[in-house]
Amino acid sequence: MENLNTKKRPELKHTDFIENLPVACTNETAAVELFEAVRWGDTPCCVHCGSTAVYKMMDAATGGRSKRFLWRCRDCHKQYTVRIGAVYEESRLPLRHWAYAFWRASTSKKGAAALEIMRQCQISYKSALFLMHRIRFAMAKKPGTPPKMTGIVECDELYVGGKPRPGTGPHKRGRGTKKTPVLGIVQRDGDVHRRVVTDVSAYTLKHAIRQMVDPQARVMTDECSSYLGLKDEFASHESVCHSAGEYAVGDVHTNTIESSFALIKRGMIGVHHAVSKKHLHRYLAHYDFLWNGRKMNDGERTYAAIRSAEGKRLTYRPVLKAN
């Protein structure tokens, strides 16, 4: 299905997209037409057979588009809408809310919380959470294709966790706490990829690094003992000793991965407040998307996010009580 819909698709002019986006957030017809333009460009085609002999169904009473914004194919005679086969297929929420949520999720550097979308779109918290989880799912790279990073690659861990419990003394940070560890790997001047890991043992971290990093890469880390031995598997392994106040020696540093983590830390404190371990990977996918698209402008990034929603469906239903 995906192939049929991605072939022969001319790029939508960026200026058209960004001009139409604010209107699409308030007007349902404009929203549907925006999503159709992102998906099909100037050549709408059938989601069932790929034929371009298709037409919009009209409403006889109003003279406008049919109530459900249906299309019909002259070849296979089936009806469909732009929602088919995308993350918003199962949703009954108007596409104008999706347009707004995609816009916010693609342009707020520290992430966008479901609570804000709830207030701004005047929808229930449950609906807002449903929407945001699916947008984050769309933003995630396709499973099974971990990027092989090369050149200079920095690795570091981040610990994401809840508030200190009363009676447990000062708020502990980092290694040795019960916070959820996240391994982050960034190719300097390239993409970042972060994933939840079960622990920060040498076995776990090295296994993940092997999956994501090319053996030709120069790997840079801090002095954590879990990284010892990487030099045998990669072109080189250089480290900086943070505990000795050493942060950069020549081009050896982990500042890139740390600054990418800084946005997550601020987002977790200021935007999301509490993220359960179960859903953390979705938030990480969102932050990866924002970081990896940092050189795009807001319109390009939003466009890329809406486009990433095609050919993907999240069939599992998130537990809706956690943020």
Q: Which of residues 179-238 bind Zn ion (CB under 5 A)?
A: none
Task: Find the part of the chain contacting Zn ion (CB under 5 A) among 69-77, 160-168, 203-211, 285-293.
Answer: 69-77
Task: Find the part of the chain contacting Zn ion (CB under 5 A) among 70-78, 103-111, 145-153, 174-182.
Answer: 70-78
46 is an interface residue for Zn ion by CB under 5 A: yes
Nearer residue to Zn ion within complex by CB, 26 or 52? 52
45 is an interface residue for Zn ion by CB under 5 A: no
One residue of 32, 38, 45, 73 binding Zn ion per CB under 5 A: 73
Closest-CA residue to 29 (of 3, 55, 65): 65
Closest-CA residue to 303 (of 1, 8, 70, 20): 20
In angstroms, the CA 87 to CA 98 distance is: 10
48 is an interface residue for Zn ion by CB under 5 A: yes
Nearer residue to Zn ion within complex by CB, 29 or 51? 51
70 is an interface residue for Zn ion by CB under 5 A: no
The least CB distance from residue 5 to Zn ion, in Å, is: 11
Task: Find the part of the chain contacting Zn ion (CB under 5 A) among 18-26, 49-57, 138-146, 257-265.
Answer: 49-57
Q: Count CB-CB contacts under 10 A for residue 301.
A: 21
107 is an interface residue for Zn ion by CB under 5 A: no
Nearer residue to Zn ion within complex by CB, 76 or 196? 76
149 is an interface residue for Zn ion by CB under 5 A: no
49 is an interface residue for Zn ion by CB under 5 A: yes
76 is an interface residue for Zn ion by CB under 5 A: yes
Nearer residue to Zn ion within complex by CB, 76 or 93? 76
Nearer residue to Zn ion within complex by CB, 46 or 212? 46
Q: Which two tokens stand for residue 239?
A: 């480290």
How many chain residues interact with Zn ion (CB under 5 A)? 7
25 is an interface residue for Zn ion by CB under 5 A: no
The least CB distance from residue 77 to Zn ion, in Å, is: 7
72 is an interface residue for Zn ion by CB under 5 A: no
51 is an interface residue for Zn ion by CB under 5 A: yes
93 is an interface residue for Zn ion by CB under 5 A: no
Query: What are the two backbone dihedrals, phi and then psi, of residue 81, each rounded to the nearest 5 degrees?
Result: -130, 170
- Residues in contact with Zn ion by the rule CB under 5 A: 46, 48-49, 51, 73, 75-76
